[in-house]
């Protein structure tokens, strides 16, 4: 029954996160999204008030149920948020790549745990400080609402994904990852187990389904990379 369990406890306590206060904003951290003015305001506020922390692979950023005192932004690397269910299964809620914000929830305790999937640099800001800034700068306040609404839309999309067959879920996942990449080549920073836990499948099914898509000449697969050969086939499969 029980699937993948975390067994990295020793690794966590071994390496203490490196903290750097008030880092200078570097160009690559200044990616401008569609909502330019507002996102710049929040970005700026976080860079001024925040600290950069580094996490290595599988290192926990925060635990499920811990006080939610901070808001986070991925500067580099990949992060996932997840929950361990009572039967031991792990449910991955989201993958956050560079520029993604996470732990935006308005409750006093985290409803998920978060960990780095690859080595990651994370910008961390005290929630209270950000709320003060939001009170002073309406652009910041509004951007928080926009980001929360985006997160809501993303989770709703995931519900739809979970309603589908294994083949549709994997195709949908690849298309989702492709949207975040350039071109047709997708680097996969996560393990097969992570993909499985995100899609509500087993690693065996993920593996078999990738093979199936490969045999349908829709993709090329290697361990850490997928190349989309035929997006229309994938989209059709995605349903």
If the CB atoms of residues 154 and 211 are measured against its own copies, the closer one turns out to be 154
Q: Under rule CB under 8 A, how many of the chain's residues touch its own copies?
A: 71
Q: Is 192 a residue that touches DNA (CB under 7 A)?
A: yes
80: β partners: 95, 115
Residue 203: contacted member of its own copies, DNA, none (CB under 5 to 8 Å, by partner type): DNA
Instruction: Please check whether residue 206 is in contact with residue 216, taking contact to mean a CB–CB distance below 8 angstroms.
Output: no
* Number of other residues whose CB lies within 10 A of the CB of residue 28: 10
Q: Is 224 a residue that touches DNA (CB under 7 A)?
A: yes
If the CB atoms of residues 180 and 224 are measured against its own copies, the closer one turns out to be 180
If the CB atoms of residues 44 and 214 are measured against DNA, the closer one turns out to be 214
> Please, what is the minimum distance in Å from the beta carbon of residue 169 to its own copies?
12
Instruction: Please check whether residue 162 is in contact with residue 91, taking contact to mean a CB–CB distance below 8 angstroms.
Output: no
DSSP 109: B
If the CB atoms of residues 180 and 224 are measured against DNA, the closer one turns out to be 224
> Please, what is the minimum distance in Å from the beta carbon of residue 223 to its own copies?
26
Instruction: Please check whether residue 219 is in contact with residue 229, taking contact to mean a CB–CB distance below 8 angstroms.
Output: yes
Q: Phi first, then psi: what are they for 12, rounded to 5°?
A: -60, -55
Q: d(Cα 233, Cα 231) in Å, to the nearest integer?
A: 5
Instruction: Please check whether residue 50 is in contact with residue 124, taking contact to mean a CB–CB distance below 8 angstroms.
Output: yes
Tally: H helices and E strands in the chain: 8, 12
Q: Kindly tell me which residue out of 76, 84, 146, 221 binds its own copies, with binding defined by CB under 8 A.
A: 146
Site for its own copies in 99-128 (CB under 8 A): 104-108, 111-112, 127-128
> Please, what is the minimum distance in Å from the beta carbon of residue 64 to DNA?
21
Q: Is 166 a residue that touches DNA (CB under 7 A)?
A: yes
Q: d(Cα 121, Cα 75) in Å, to the nearest integer?
A: 5
Instruction: Please check whether residue 29 is in contact with residue 47, taking contact to mean a CB–CB distance below 8 angstroms.
Output: yes
If the CB atoms of residues 51 and 80 are measured against DNA, the closer one turns out to be 80
Q: Is 13 a residue that touches DNA (CB under 7 A)?
A: no
> Please, what is the minimum distance in Å from the beta carbon of residue 141 to its own copies?
5
Instruction: Compute the residue count for the chain.
Output: 239
Q: In the numeric block, which tokens belong to residue 6?
A: 């975390």
Q: Kindly tell me which residue out of 207, 229, 230, 239 binds DNA, with binding defined by CB under 7 A.
A: 207
Q: Kindly tell me which residue out of 97, 201, 234, 237 binds DNA, with binding defined by CB under 7 A.
A: 201
Q: Which residues bind DNA (CB under 7 A)?
A: 1, 3, 165-167, 191-193, 200-208, 210-211, 221-224
């Amino acid at each position: 029954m029980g699937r993948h369990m975390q067994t990295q406890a020793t690794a966590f306590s071994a390496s203490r996160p490196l903290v750097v206060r008030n880092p200078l904003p570097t160009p690559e951290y200044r990616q401008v999204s569609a909502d330019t003015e507002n996102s710049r305001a929040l970005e700026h506020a976080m860079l001024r008030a925040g600290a950069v922390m580094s996490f290595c692979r599988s290192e926990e950023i925060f635990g499920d149920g811990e006080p939610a005192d901070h808001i986070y932004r991925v500067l580099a690397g990949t992060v996932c948020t997840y929950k361990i269910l009572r039967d031991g299964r792990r449910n991955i809620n989201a993958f956050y790549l560079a520029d993604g914000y996470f732990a935006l929830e308005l409750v006093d305790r985290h409803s998920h745990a978060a960990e780095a999937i690859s080595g990651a640099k994370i910008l961390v800001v005290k929630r209270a400080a950000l709320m003060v800034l939001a009170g002073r700068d309406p652009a910041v306040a509004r951007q928080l609402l926009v980001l929360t609404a985006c997160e809501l839309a993303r989770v709703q999309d995931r519900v739809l994904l979970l309603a589908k067959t294994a083949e549709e879920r994997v195709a949908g996942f690849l298309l989702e990852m492709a949207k975040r990449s350039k071109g047709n080549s997708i680097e996969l920073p996560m393990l097969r187990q992570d993909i499985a836990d995100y899609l509500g499948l087993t690693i065996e099914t993920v593996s078999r389904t990738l093979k199936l898509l490969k045999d349908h000449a829709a993709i090329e697969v290697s361990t850490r990379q997928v190349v989309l050969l035929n997006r229309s086939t994938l989209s059709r499969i995605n349903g």
